[in-house]
Chains A and B, each alone.
Chain A
Amino acid sequence: MRKTWDIPGGVHPPENKSQSLQQPLGEVGLPAELVLPLNQHIGAAAEPVVAVGDHVLAGQQIAAAIGLVSAPVHASTSGHIVAIEERPIPHPSGMQDLCIVLRPDGKDRWIELEPCENYTQLSHAALLEKIRAAGIAGMGGAGFPTAVKLNPRANYDIDTLIINGTECEPYITADDILMQTSPAEVIAGTRLLAYLLNQPKQVLIGIEDNKPDAIAALERAVAELNDDDCRIEICTFPTKYPSGGEKQLIQILTGREVPSGELPAAVGVISQNVGTAVAAWRAVRYGEPLLSRITTVVGTALATQRNVRVRLGTPIEHVLTQHGFDPQRCPRLVMGGPMMGFTLPSAQVPVIKTTNCILAPSREELPPPPPAQACIRCGLCAEACPASLLPQQLYWYARAEDYERLTAHSLTDCIECGACAYVCPSNIPLVQYYRAAKGTIRQMEIEKEKSDRSRQRFEFRKERVARAEAEKEAKREARKKAAAVAKKKLAAAQAGAQQDSRPSGKQQSGAQPHEGLAGDRQTGAQPDMVAAAMARVQEKQLAPQQQREKLQRAIASAESRLQKAQQRHVEASAEHQGKMQARVREAEVRLADARQKLAALDTATPAPAENADPVAAAIARAQAKMALSPTEKLQGNLTSLQKRLATAREKLAAAEAEGSDTAAALATGVAKLEEKIATVQTELNAAPAQVPGPAAATKTAATDAAAVAIEKAKTRAAAQADMSAEEKLQKQLDSLQHRLQKARLRLEQAEADNDAHIDALRSGVEKLEAKLAQTRAQLEDTASP
């Protein structure tokens, strides 16, 4: 007897297994319709490979696996595909999903099967492919594709294969009956799986000790086999719910605990359900896909309670009617056991690969859950938890929707066995809370992932848009630059050659105005206009001389261009004739224009120059005169006088010689002139003495004194403005007193000198005294109030 370990927690619900074991394994006949959901397993749904109306044979693949974690679906019998549509599926959500509906023809004809006598001749890959193609998924209830599970990652060292015949959930006896009826197949399947896993050190079949018949049958089969290559051990251990959980069974049989978030392969264990082992064996040995399974049909609402082999896709209603189902007595149908099963939305749903039990209990047998009451913190749930979690804490956090704390308290390790809810004296549906919280956490993770992706896409898009914008901007900039350069060039060229196309129309006569226009268009009307305007402005700014030069140059170039154009015009072929003509004409227009302008300039410029000249000369002379120093002026005067004198004398001499009567007048004029010259000469003589420097100095000094006086007056006025009336008067008084003193002094001096002004001075002093007295009175007036 092998040593077994114990798991923490666990409960002992009433087993209720005997009802369904009273009768041998039965069969269920063909229903009118088989409904085969495309997703009967964990992973991606299969994809239909048949069309409505197709006839299929039993075992024919009707939906192919998509991706690695998926499983194909096969027709359970021969018949016609009547629909591929949404039908209610056995799922706690009660939702519909895509199903293939098959109407059996009743003949149950099979496809050609590919048996394999000796699987050891096949490679592992070929065997796994067979298992995969047979659509085998874990038949214990989870439905994980078996081929995937049997192909663990290379870094896992698998040393133990566990075949799970525990079946710990109440009521269910499907595995029990399988082990009882076909132990040889179970052993053969076990050997196949062991072979696939390269003969692990231990091959264990774990069975609870409440199935003595199954244990005996298997032990017999193992003994019969007597195989030294593969030592299969039948391990029995005390019944306790939930020993059949994968992680729990591993712990019981090997003492190893699967780490949180890891697969059993991490501790070197692969476990498979007995039903899966048999299905895999049949798939390899007989090439038989998974078309049926053993299901326990149990419950007091049924007349017959037994295990049946039922085709996948058979509506549960069909199974129930064959067992004397009384809908009146059964308030709800459960798929799976009473602990982990779920209520079916309707009896129309089909049996699928994971349907190990159909429970049709009466109201007495499985009453609706009583109303939940407040948690009394008894701690029974923590004692019952096989995963050593803290159900009470999880409950509080789940109610508070504190998902962070739930994760921190290892909610993900909860196997949803329902032991905590089972022991809860307050009937709190704890597992419901955990399931809901788990779902929310999963949803949040999906949303988080999606939002991260959205963020990435958004950031990327932003970057891309910015980049595109920058590129556009750069292009625009480059284009602008190029345009500016081109414009400059064009303007220069036009200022040089084209000048202005304004008179072109009038000038170049009405002869071919259209061609001229066309020519303009050819060069681009828009830039032309701009360039012309610029040229005009430049033209105005230019000095007439430069302009003339430019125009001359323009005429020269225009002439040469005209010549060239004419030459080309002659040479040009017929088709280019029009174009060339236009060009010639354009050149002609330009030339004429330039010529006309030059002429206009020639006639226009001299006139203003002449008009301007005398004025300018006069101004210049005046300026020159003003610039002269007084002496120079006098000198100039003198010379001009002397000139006049000379001419006057000449005239006088001529008059005297003629004996004219104007001679006397002339003589007086000469005398006057002579007199004037003499005065100017004296003045001139005096001027050098009065050295220009000192003269200027005195002048500036005088002006300076005046400026100072003005300054003083201004400051005084400003100061007075600032002062109050009283202060002003005081100031006035002071200054008057000062002036009086000065005047008295001067009077004394005058009296002493016996000056002529003595009277005037005296009256001035008297006046000042009077004013002083008046100011004093004013001051007193202003001060007194």
Chain B
Amino acid sequence: MLEFFTQYPIAGAVIALGSLSLVFGAILGFAAIRFKVEGDPVVEQLDALLPQTQCGQCGYPGCRPYAQAIANGDAINKCPPGGQATINAIADLLDVEAPTLDAEHGEESEVKKVAYIREDECIGCTKCIQACPVDAILGAAKQMHTVIIDECTGCDLCVEPCPVDCIDMVPVAATVEHWKWDTPAASGAPAMELIATDKDPAPDTKPPSQSDRGEAA
């Protein structure tokens, strides 16, 4: 065997390489089957970025179908509930230029809204229940319905079917629990890129705060 290889080095090399390729081919083949990724991972990622309001404003019956459509090459700027943030995130994921929101599909709402049923006017027709994509409306035929606010995505789909127009989209009240600090730029702080000579000296202020504090100490 060894003799054969020393005698015919080229043949030996060919055999060695051939057997190596066979071994690696087998490993790769096994890995391809064993670690096969089910479904399209891009669709999953896109779906995770979409706001899951299931409102259908994009023209697809829900967020996942739209994710599928994006994966198939549809425009990424059709999601008003997600707004520019979602468009940017999707553009980031797909490594494309982020377009602005397509106004044809609606405008980005500044405040989050939820549906609210004026309960004394509700006639119990269950039409809104059938329209709700996330089962956030509770009720039965000829019984008053109500919205589970925590589950409502604010998709608007229940407003139109209501025969007595007793559903309003009300902005979600800001609560102390959900409050967050504003970023300094947003809270009206002076522009950042000042240089020292630009400083507008405050009326009766002695220079920096540190020395001031030192004095107070």
**Contact call A372/B189, Cβ cutoff below 8 A:** yes
Docked Cα-Cα span, A439 to B184, in Å, equals 13
Q: In the complex, which residues 428-471 of chain A have their Cβ closer than 8 Å to any Cβ of chain B?
A: 428-429, 432-433, 435-440, 442-443, 446-447, 450-455, 457-462
- The residue of chain B having its C-beta at the shortest distance from the C-beta of A372 within the complex is B192
Docked Cα-Cα span, A451 to B46, in Å, equals 13
Task: For the complex formed, measure the closest distance between the CB of B123 and the CB atoms of chain A, giving whole angstroms.
Answer: 23
Docked Cα-Cα span, A438 to B182, in Å, equals 10
**Contact call B135/A457, Cβ cutoff below 8 A:** yes
Docked Cα-Cα span, A457 to B151, in Å, equals 9
Task: For the complex formed, measure the closest distance between the CB of B188 and the CB atoms of chain A, giving whole angstroms.
Answer: 12
Q: Which residues of A contact B213 (CB under 8 A)?
A: 13-14, 16, 170, 338, 366
Q: Which residues of B contact A446 (CB under 8 A)?
A: 178
- The residue of chain B having its C-beta at the shortest distance from the C-beta of A371 within the complex is B190
Q: Mark B169-193, 1 if CB is under 8 A from A, else 0.
A: 0000011101111111111011011
Task: Kindly specify which of B10-18, B50-58, B71-79, B96-104 makes contact with the partner chain.
Answer: B50-58
Q: Which residues of B contact A399 (CB under 8 A)?
A: 185
Known contacts A436-B182, A436-B184, A454-B151, A39 near B202 by CB under 8 Å: no
Q: Which residues of A contact B215 (CB under 8 A)?
A: 14
Docked Cα-Cα span, A368 to B210, in Å, equals 12
Q: Which residues of B contact A459 (CB under 8 A)?
A: 64
**Contact call A16/B179, Cβ cutoff below 8 A:** no
**Contact call A370/B209, Cβ cutoff below 8 A:** yes
Q: In the complex, which residues 48-69 of chain B have their Cβ closer than 8 Å to any Cβ of chain A?
A: 50-54, 62-64
Known contacts A374-B194, A432-B184, A433-B184, A457 near B134 by CB under 8 Å: yes
Q: Which residues of A contact B199 (CB under 8 A)?
A: 370-371
Task: For the complex formed, measure the closest distance between the CB of A477 and the CB atoms of chain B, giving whole angstroms.
Answer: 24
Known contacts A13-B213, A39-B176, A457 near B136 by CB under 8 Å: yes
**Contact call A436/B181, Cβ cutoff below 8 A:** yes
A53 contacts B by Cβ under 8 Å: no
A369 contacts B by Cβ under 8 Å: yes
Known contacts A436-B182, A458-B134, A364 near B190 by CB under 8 Å: no
**Contact call B54/A373, Cβ cutoff below 8 A:** no
B153 contacts A by Cβ under 8 Å: yes
Task: For the complex formed, measure the closest distance between the CB of A31 and the CB atoms of chain B, giving whole angstroms.
Answer: 23
Q: In the complex, which residues 408-446 of chain A have their Cβ closer than 8 Å to any Cβ of chain B?
A: 422, 427-429, 432-433, 435-440, 442-443, 446
A365 contacts B by Cβ under 8 Å: yes
Q: Which residues of A contact B204 (CB under 8 A)?
A: 363-364
A367 contacts B by Cβ under 8 Å: yes
The listed residue (B47, B187, B192) touching A374 by CB distance below 8 A is B192
B217 contacts A by Cβ under 8 Å: yes
B6 contacts A by Cβ under 8 Å: no
Task: For the complex formed, measure the closest distance between the CB of A3 and the CB atoms of chain B, giving whole angstroms.
Answer: 30
B33 contacts A by Cβ under 8 Å: no
Q: Which residues of B contact A565 (CB under 8 A)?
A: none
Q: Mark A83-102, 1 if CB is under 8 A from B, else 0.
A: 00000010111010100000
Task: For the complex formed, measure the closest distance between the CB of A723 and the CB atoms of chain B, giving whole angstroms.
Answer: 59
Task: For the complex formed, measure the closest distance between the CB of A768 and the CB atoms of chain B, giving whole angstroms.
Answer: 81
B208 contacts A by Cβ under 8 Å: yes
A398 contacts B by Cβ under 8 Å: yes
Known contacts A14-B216, A368-B202, A443 near B180 by CB under 8 Å: yes
Q: In the complex, which residues 663-713 of chain A have their Cβ closer than 8 Å to any Cβ of chain B?
A: none
Docked Cα-Cα span, A373 to B196, in Å, equals 7
**Contact call A371/B183, Cβ cutoff below 8 A:** no
**Contact call A95/B134, Cβ cutoff below 8 A:** no
B200 contacts A by Cβ under 8 Å: yes
The listed residue (A16, A435, A439) touching B217 by CB distance below 8 A is A16
Docked Cα-Cα span, A447 to B51, in Å, equals 8
Q: Which residues of A contact B181 (CB under 8 A)?
A: 92, 432, 435-436, 438-439
B41 contacts A by Cβ under 8 Å: no
Task: For the complex formed, measure the closest distance between the CB of A310 and the CB atoms of chain B, giving whole angstroms.
Answer: 22
Q: Which residues of A contact B216 (CB under 8 A)?
A: 14, 16, 300, 364-365
- The residue of chain A having its C-beta at the shortest distance from the C-beta of B132 within the complex is A461
Q: In the complex, which residues 167-186 of chain A have their Cβ closer than 8 Å to any Cβ of chain B?
A: 170
**Contact call A373/B193, Cβ cutoff below 8 A:** yes
Task: For the complex formed, measure the closest distance between the CB of A12 and the CB atoms of chain B, giving whole angstroms.
Answer: 10
A15 contacts B by Cβ under 8 Å: yes
B206 contacts A by Cβ under 8 Å: yes
Task: For the complex formed, measure the closest distance between the CB of B139 and the CB atoms of chain A, giving whole angstroms.
Answer: 15
Docked Cα-Cα span, A398 to B182, in Å, equals 12
Q: Which residues of B contact A374 (CB under 8 A)?
A: 192-195
**Contact call B202/A367, Cβ cutoff below 8 A:** yes
Q: Which residues of A contact B187 (CB under 8 A)?
A: 432
Known contacts A364-B212, A374-B194, A433-B184, A458 near B202 by CB under 8 Å: no
B205 contacts A by Cβ under 8 Å: yes
The listed residue (B62, B150, B183) touching A458 by CB distance below 8 A is B62
Docked Cα-Cα span, A89 to B62, in Å, equals 41
Q: In the complex, which residues 349-371 of chain A have their Cβ closer than 8 Å to any Cβ of chain B?
A: 363-371
**Contact call A367/B205, Cβ cutoff below 8 A:** yes
Task: For the complex formed, measure the closest distance between the CB of A96 and the CB atoms of chain B, giving whole angstroms.
Answer: 9
- The residue of chain B having its C-beta at the shortest distance from the C-beta of A464 within the complex is B135
Q: Which residues of A contact B52 (CB under 8 A)?
A: 450-452, 454-455, 458
Docked Cα-Cα span, A455 to B135, in Å, equals 11
**Contact call B179/A371, Cβ cutoff below 8 A:** no
**Contact call A454/B205, Cβ cutoff below 8 A:** no
- The residue of chain B having its C-beta at the shortest distance from the C-beta of A300 within the complex is B216
Q: Which residues of B contact A398 (CB under 8 A)?
A: 183
The listed residue (B53, B134, B183) touching A432 by CB distance below 8 A is B183
**Contact call A372/B183, Cβ cutoff below 8 A:** no
Q: In the complex, which residues 78-111 of chain B have their Cβ closer than 8 Å to any Cβ of chain A?
A: none
Q: Which residues of B contact A450 (CB under 8 A)?
A: 52, 150
B214 contacts A by Cβ under 8 Å: yes
Task: For the complex formed, measure the closest distance between the CB of B192 and the CB atoms of chain A, giving whole angstroms.
Answer: 6
- The residue of chain A having its C-beta at the shortest distance from the C-beta of B62 within the complex is A458
The listed residue (A16, A97, A435, A437) touching B176 by CB distance below 8 A is A97
- The residue of chain A having its C-beta at the shortest distance from the C-beta of B206 within the complex is A364
- The residue of chain B having its C-beta at the shortest distance from the C-beta of A362 within the complex is B216
Docked Cα-Cα span, A462 to B181, in Å, equals 38
Q: Which residues of A contact B151 (CB under 8 A)?
A: 453-454, 457
Which 4 pairs of residues, A with B, have the shortest CB-CB distance?
A439-B180, A14-B217, A451-B52, A435-B181
B residues with a Cβ closer than 8 A to A are 47, 50-54, 62-64, 133-136, 150-151, 153, 174-176, 178-187, 189-190, 192-196, 198-200, 202, 204-206, 208-210, 212-217
- Additional pairs, 9, CB under 8 Å, beyond known A170-B213, A461-B135: A91-B179, A367-B212, A371-B189, A371-B199, A373-B195, A436-B180, A454-B53, A457-B151, A458-B52
